[in-house]
Amino acid sequence: MLRYLTAGESHGPALTAIIEGLPAGLALPEDYVNRQLARRQGGYGRGGRMRIEQDQVRFLAGVRGGFTLGSPVALHIENRDWASWQEIMDPGAAARLDQRVVTRPRPGHADLAGALKYGHRDIRNVLERASARETAARVAAGSVARRLLEELGIEIIGHVVRIGPVAVPEPGRDEDILSACLAEAGGMAEQGAVTMPTGVETAAGEGGGMCSGDVSTGAGTSGEREMPPPGKFPDLFHLRELLDASPVYCLHRETAEAMMREIDRAREAGDSLGGVFEIRVYGLPPGLGSYVHWDRRLDGRLAGALMSIQAIKGVEIGLGFAGAALPGSQVHDEIFYSRERGFYRRTNRAGGLEGGVTNGEPLIVRAAMKPIPTLYKPLRSVDLISKEPFAASVERSDVCAVPAACVVGEAVVAWELAAACVEKFGGDTLQEMKANYQQYLDYLKTRIW
Ligand SMILES: Cc1cc2nc3c(=O)[nH]c(=O)nc-3n(C[C@H](O)[C@H](O)[C@H](O)COP(=O)(O)O)c2cc1C
Ligand SMILES: C=C(O[C@@H]1CC(C(=O)O)=C[C@@H](OP(=O)(O)O)[C@H]1O)C(=O)O
């Protein structure tokens, strides 16, 4: 079983995570995790705190010479802002508990509910842990999971599709959102797919028909389109470069610019914005998750993980809510067979999951983030102690954090998928896990062809 816990206050000395259940022998360079941490810190609309922090992971246990040992992995991320908060946040008796006390709960944050639940009279005791600063630790843990998935030829990519009222254009009948954005970003979609760069050779390299990674079979597709030969993937390396170059992690250039203008408008108005991001996973074998129990369904686990991210209020898989308005004939992905390709689909409206089990198509999930609760033009609230009406507290804040949340989304999706892989393929060493995976792929070949 793969599990993890995080600890740490936003302005405390550091964030910590402990991960258990990783196989021994997994290469885990700090730089790999740091790259994801840097992406999480990015995104247009972030507040002043991100100019202070420079998140870097330090492994404290479970890793030696850059490889996992099989023992629990402990990791640590320093809070640079601690330097300004030491007196107030000191874990010892010296803490100045009378300083920077917060008593005016912000609507939409955990302030009031948390203070009532834990008996706090200073809301600081709530916001320090409710803060999405915690997501730095989750991204670090998720990066470890992502590294494991790479070894199995499974790759994750996320992009922002909406910020406030600005969304990437609805895809045409024969297009899905990612390929439409790609085409706009420079005709990449036309270049088509390339073979998977990493992973278990047979999972991707031999193209055993497990992974049909065509972006054109994405959710939002109402038309049908032939998929490329099995084992082909979109050029994820290039895609990631394009995405990282966008300040809002959106491929559609015009939309990205409009998103930034909208964030500027919100900032000037003392307001905040939410949005929607989409995560896609390529190279998944059929058979992860299970329909046999509610808590083993992968759709439920993924939705739970995404909903557990601060400010995420909705999750869709595949067509999601749009599917509810359509007849079944326009929703379900018909099954075809050919000698070259085995079983295959021409559409992927299910988003890669049927019955809570991966079906071999790319996974497509979207999450909706509400607007940031802290407003520079604060909403009305009531003082926790005096019960007098006041404008809510203004803590330094982001105006929009959807791009950052997208990186967190990638991390938690990676985690759930890695956990499902560990559950299915097991093994104390990476070598053993890969051999088990290979055996499963060999078995699948006998069923698919
Ligand atoms: C990456 C990220 C950054 C965030 N930044 C802020 C912020 O600067 N100010 C704020 O009030 N809320 C911010 N939030 C949202 C709050 O953490 C969140 O709304 C709060 O914890 C209450 O949880 P809930 O919205 O899930 O109910 C952020 C969320 C994420 C995912
Ligand atoms: C620190 C992070 O995000 C924080 C999340 C957050 C909140 O209320 O969720 C409030 C802000 O905290 P501060 O008041 O210290 O600026 C954000 O900066 C981070 O993402 O690393």
pLDDT band at 209 (very low <50, low <70, confident <90, very high): very low
pLDDT for res 331: 94
Cα–Cα distance measured from residue 212 to residue 346, given in angstroms and rounded to the nearest whole number: 10
377 CB neighbour count, 10 Å cutoff? 10
Q: Select from 310, 375, 377, 412 the residue to mutate for testing ligand 1; criterion: most ligand atoms less than 8 Å from CB.
A: 310
Residue 138 Cα, ligand 2 centroid: separation in angstroms? 14
For residue 321, give every residue at least 6 positions away whose Cβ sits within 8 Å of its Cβ, in sequence order, or none. Answer: none
More confident residue, 12 or 376: 12
**Residue 321 C-alpha to ligand 1 middle, in angstroms?**
24
Collapsing DSSP states into helix, strand and coil, what is residue 81? coil
pLDDT band at 211 (very low <50, low <70, confident <90, very high): very low
Q: Give per-residue pLDDT as tens, 76-132.
A: 999 999 999 999 999 999 999 999 999 999 999 999 999 999 999 999 999 999 999
Q: Return the pLDDT at 213.
A: 31
Task: Please name every residue paired with 110 in a beta bridge, in sequence order, or none if there are none.
Answer: none
Q: For the sheet containing 14-20, what is the strand order?
A: 3-7, 14-20, 73-78, 57-61
Which atom of ligand 1 is found nearest the CA of 398?
8
Q: How far apart are CA 344 and CA 342, in angstroms?
A: 6
Q: Which residues line ligand 1 (CB under 6 A)?
A: 47, 108-110, 130-132, 135, 309-311, 370, 372-374, 397-398, 401, 404-405, 408
> 3-448 has which fold?
Chorismate synthase, AroC fold (3.60.150)
341: left (phi > 0), else alpha (psi -120 to 50), else beta? alpha
Report, as an integer, the average pLDDT of 186-205. 35
Is 311 marked as a binding-site residue?
Answer: yes
Quick one: tokens of 69?
A: 């040992």
Q: Confidence band (pLDDT; 50, 70, 90) for 196?
A: very low
Ligand 2 contacts CB of residue 55 (under 6 A): no
**Token duo for residue 180:** 């439409």
Does residue 42 have its Cβ closer than 6 Å to ligand 2? no
Distance CA 274, CA 373 (A): 10
Helix (H, G, I), strand (E, B) or coil at 139: helix
Contact 281, 416 (CB under 8 A): no
Tell me what the pLDDT averaged over the chain comes to: 88
Q: Check: CB of residue 79 under 8 Å from CB of residue 15.
A: yes
The secondary structure element, H or E, covering residue 73 is strand 73-78
Higher-scoring residue by pLDDT: 61, 231: 61
Nearest-CA residue for ligand 1 atom 22 is 109
Q: What is the DSSP string of 358-414?
A: E-SSPEEEEEEEPPPS--SSPPEEE-TTT--EEEPP--S--S--HHHHHHHHHHHHH
Rounded to an integer, what distance in angstroms lies between the CA atom of residue 111 and that of residue 105?
5
Ligand sitting nearest the alpha carbon of 373: 1
108 annotated ligand-binding residue: no
Q: Please give the C-alpha separations between residue 224 and each of 92, 214, 218, 402, in angstroms, as whole numbers.
A: 63, 12, 11, 31
Partners of residue 429 on adjacent β-strands: 24
Closest CA to 414 of 281, 309, 233, 307: 281
Residues in a beta bridge with 7: 16
DSSP one-letter string for 287-344 = T-B-SSSGGG-HHHHHHHHHHTSTTEEEEEETTGGGGGGS-GGGTS--EEEETTTEEE
The answer to the question of whether 3 is labelled as a binding residue is no
Q: Where are the domains of the chain?
A: 3-448
22-72: pLDDT as tens digits: 999 999 999 999 999 999 999 999 999 999 999 999 999 999 999 999 999
What is the distance in A from the centroid of ligand 1 to the CA of 135?
10
Q: Supply 318's token pair.
A: 């595949």
Residue 175: which pLDDT band, with cuts at 50, 70 and 90?
A: low
* pLDDT number for residue 335: 96
In the predicted model, is pLDDT for residue 361 greater than 70? yes
What's the alpha-carbon Rg for the chain, to the nearest Å?
23
Q: How far is the CA of 413 from the centre of ligand 2 (A)?
A: 22
- Cα separation of 224 and 3, whole Å? 39
Q: What is the pLDDT of residue 275?
A: 98
Under the banding of pLDDT at 50, 70 and 90, the label for residue 216 is very low
Beta bridge partners of 281: 156, 363
Q: Are 322 and 220 in contact (CB under 8 A)?
A: yes
**Which of 422, 413, 427, 411 is CA-nearest to residue 17?**
411
The mean per-residue pLDDT over the stretch 388-403 comes to 89
Sheet containing strand 155-163, edge to edge, reads 166-167, 155-163, 275-282, 363-369, 312-317
* CA 214 to each of CA 125, 151, 178, 229, 360: distance values in angstroms, whole numbers, following the listed order: 47, 21, 10, 9, 12
- Burial grade of 94 (CB within 10 A; 0-12, 13-18, 19 or more): exposed
pLDDT recorded at residue 194: 30
